[in-house]
Amino acid sequence: MDCDGGWNNTFVHFEFMRKKLLSFIIIIFALFLLPQIIGPITDLITYPQLRKEAENAVQYFSEVSLDDTNNAWFYYSLAEDQFDDSGWNKEIGSYIDGKIAITSSIRTALRKNKQAADLFRDGTKRNFCRIPYEPGILVPISVIMSSNNLSKIVDLVSAQSLMNLESINNEKAITEIFSIITVSEHFASNGDAIDYMTGCMLFYRSYEILKMGLESCAFSEVQLETISNKLKEIEVEWPKFARVLEIESKSTLISLSGQTKGISGHRFSARILLRYINWKYLFSFNFANLGGYRFMNKLSDELEKEEDIDSLKINFGNNLKKNIEERINNYVWKNFMYGMILANIVHLYERKLTRLTRMRILNLCSEVQLYRLRTGHYPMTLENFNRRTSIDLNTGEYFNYTNYGDSAVISSFGPDPTDKGDDVLLTLTDIGVKQYLKRKRDSSKENGVRLEFGI
């Protein structure tokens, strides 16, 4: 009797555990299967809206015509096509960095690519630039061009500007310098995030040439006034980052919404697993893409209102860095695919501050050199200069300034005081461009010898 009761209890307990395990397996299977049911249904429901938004984005990019002679990109494309790669010389980089004197091979490269450089200059004379977008490739057309021939043409024009500066042909040098600034502005104005980065990068070529001219006091009073006025205009007109974010949202939407075609076996498996990441969007790719697109547009609208040049530092410190960056970081966990794209947005915005810092300090240096030409000495402080010119965007205070009598140093720690890579420092002298370049090149040779012998 007791034995039978023991067996019954064991059986009941076993049956209970079996049912519990079976229930657990069913629940786990249901939890695994449910997203694969909910996700496709949500995809189907949200697809019409996603398709409508994607078609509008495609329409925006399709409005660009490569044959429009009013579009600067028409001339940049022709310049890229006309570039003579056989005439390119690697010494050009060392020349425009001030490390070596101009060589016959550099002159040959300039001569062979005169037509490409002229087309490039024609492009910089246009009032607008619209960069085409090709959804069928993984990177923008502009990236392919800038990584190949267009960046080399920028270097050629930079070399031409330095050659004019050395020849005391300052008017032409200034024209060349600002043509490079214009193409950098064109890249940054109507492209996506990568184009914006390219625009900032191209600006530094003009910055280095203009820096050498200002540090050596190569320009006359009239020329310094021209440089200052042009820099003031460009600072105000430099494209807002909100515009970049808007275009980035469109290109990202097109790219992600087009991934539903031609899915291979391993990609199909990956999509099954990735559905679980989009749990806040009902396991739907379409819903997540639409949500990310709208989130980016909302950020763009907010920045559009706040991105005023006079309050860039205030907005960056108190709003973007603390509020928007936090929202972006939180959004990464909500929408993984868009989160990866948004992760470097704040860093890209810092690039704008870095570029504006360099532009403003060039402007200030032109005014300080103008002051020296008119008075015979450098100012003791910056307090009598226009605050718009002399205030560092990164601190809200005057740029760091030291008067050494026969020279003056103006500097900034940039957007990130802990990062020496964004520091800016210009040493103003009156030695003239020829002596300045001689010292720079002699110093470069000396450093080269030290490195060669491990000194």
Convert the pLDDT of each residue in 46-105 to its tens digit: 989 988 998 888 888 777 776 788 899 899 989 988 998 887 888 999 999 999 999 999
b/e map 15-53, b = 16+ CB within 10 Å: eeeeeeeeeeeeeeeeeeeebeeebeebbeebbeebeeb
The tokens of 435 are what?
Answer: 């002596």
pLDDT of residue 327: 77
Q: Is 81 exposed, middle or buried (0-12, 13-18, 19+ CB in 10 A)?
A: exposed
What pLDDT score does 15 carry? 61
Specify the pLDDT at position 299: 82
pLDDT (tens digit per residue) in 383-410: 988 887 898 888 888 999 999 999 999 9
Burial of 292 (0-12, 13-18, 19+ CB in 10 A): buried
Domain extents in the chain: 39-63+241-258+266-306
Q: What is the pLDDT of residue 316?
A: 46
> How high is the pLDDT of residue 455?
45
What pLDDT is stored for residue 165 in this prediction?
Answer: 96
- pLDDT < 50 stretches in the chain: 1, 137-139, 141, 143-147, 259-267, 311-319, 449-455
